[in-house]
Structure 1
């Protein structure tokens, strides 16, 4: 059997340098590069999610950890807007993040700006806009566009979010109803805080927000969805953060969130699973 020798010398700093590498090392140990001080454990993922998918994701994160052992660290913020908590602002600060979940239009903007890895976007849940009043308050008629128009004209105060649903209410729906000039002055776009909480506290008589965001709020009554002809369905979608060092584990999480294993939780939260939507 041929003997294999490994010769070593030292440089000026005293570091051992191998002159010959063999399958079996005698007398020297290999030196590996130290891990990056910013590297997270392989079994950990950081996710930023917006309000429409928060309830579903909290449950799914627990479910995913139980099945895979991967620890999920979750941060919350709106899909858009000017607040520091907004997901685009958090990526601008390069907060530790591997996956973002937010309204599809905002996600696609992040991908176009190079902040989300192109081609990783996947729709997870489809959300509709609902209307709420304070618990115990009279229930107004919202069953038709005409009924909703009359209700909004009669209301003393109205609130909507500063994210996807609220932008639609303020810039599109009120114009469709022909009452923008009457309702905008008494309306409030609410940043960062759930609209349901504003309604529950009596600060607004009527509130509009994604059904999935209104469902967990106590002290309100959800009186229904927008009429079909006025409804806007928003896709909440996930993507992988471009600067994440954990691209493959992030992809595995998105695959799980868009699989049939997530369907029941997504429906329970007030969304419809996007992967199960009818094909045209």
Structure 2
């Protein structure tokens, strides 16, 4: 009840005719593009603030956080594990906005491998002629750690078609450039591909996207209002429709 009142109060302040119209600079994980673009547009229409979002991978978000001015972040929790990046955010707890697990895709119409257990998943990876994912990201680091757990890391290096942006993973599989695509499930939802399934339970993990206000922002009130807006039931519905779980 208390959280609901705080969210409502923040939105009321942001939508007040007397509220200052801010220009918010947001750092965000590349996998949030679909729903965060939609919700930022809704937020802009509701209160007159302007939202500019820089989407990127975790390593690049850390570089951005430590070298450029911004007002808030909606970023993978891994960003806060970097001391330099964490120091650029206001002290205190972050607010989890969305989370999503990992899955595997194949080209539409192709045979789907059995990935229902770690052993079956390992066999599918070994049997695949090629795989694709985005190594230079928090999600990519987790995929690589799964290869290590399964004892196939070296074998995967030889057959990996590395991508530089999340959206290119599904495109590569759809075109036949790679047999299997591995990444966050919401990113893999695209035309021309089909989900073979999620990582098996023992190897599954949620990547959490969390929000916080920048330590030196001059638009703290507007930034807090945007974070509050991302916690509303309407925002949660958009996040869920785009393949992630709210909170």
Could you state the TM-score of these two structures normalised by the residue count of structure 2? 0.83
Deviation at 1:273, TM superposition (A): 1.0
Unaligned runs of 5+ in 2: 1-19
- Name the counterpart of 1:23: none
Shift of 1:92: 3.5
Instruction: Pick closer, same or farther for the CA change 1:107–1:197 going to 2, 3 Å.
Output: farther
- Hey, what does 1:114 align to over in structure 2? 87
**More helix as a share of residues:** 2
Q: 1:130 to 1:46 in 2, by over 3 A?
A: same
58, 71, 78: which one aligns with 2:57 = 78
Contact 1:100 1:238 in 2 (8 A): yes
Q: 1:125 to 1:110 in 2, by over 3 A?
A: farther
Rounded Cα–Cα distance in structure 1 between residues aligned with 2:204 and 2:86: 29
Let me know the Cα RMSD of the aligned residues: 2.1
The correspondence of residues 95-114 of structure 1 with structure 2, limited to 5 A, is 96-109=69-82, 113-114=86-87
What is the alpha-carbon distance in structure 2 between the residues aligned to residue 241 and residue 199 of structure 1?
Answer: 38
Query: Distance between the aligned counterparts of 2:89 and 2:195, measured in 1?
Result: 35
**Whole-angstrom distance in 1 between the partners of 2:126 and 2:194:** 20
Aligned: 1:202 with 2:176 = yes
Larger radius of gyration: 1
Aligned pairs for 1:238-257 (under 5 A) are 238-257=211-230
Alpha-carbon distance in 2 for matches of 1:154, 1:178 = 14
Shift of 1:108: 4.2
Query: Which residue number corresponds to residue 87 of structure 1?
Result: 61
How many residues are aligned here?
Answer: 226
Residues 52 and 127 in structure 1, CA contact (< 8 A), matched pair in contact too:
no
Say whether residues 1:228 and 2:201 are aligned partners: yes
Please say if residues 31 and 166 of structure 2, whose CA atoms lie closer than 8 Å, have aligned partners that are also in contact: no
The answer to whether 1:272 aligns with 2:245 is: yes
| 3-state secondary structure, aligned to 1:207 | strand
Q: Deviation at 1:91?
A: 2.8
Question: What secondary structure does 2:203 align onto?
Answer: coil
Secondary structure of the structure 2 residue equivalent to 1:258 = coil
Mapping for residues 117-196 of structure 1, pairs under 5 Å: 117-119=90-92, 121-161=94-134, 162-170=136-144, 172-194=145-167, 195-196=169-170
Following the alignment from structure 1 to structure 2, what is the Cα–Cα distance between the partners of residues 114 and 179?
37
Superposed displacement of residue 110, structure 1: 5.7
Per-residue deviation, 1:182: 2.4
Higher RCO structure, 1 or 2 (CA under 8 Å, sep 6+) = 2
Measured after TM superposition, the shift of residue 257 of structure 1 is 0.9
Query: Secondary structure of the residue that 2:182 maps to in structure 1?
Result: strand
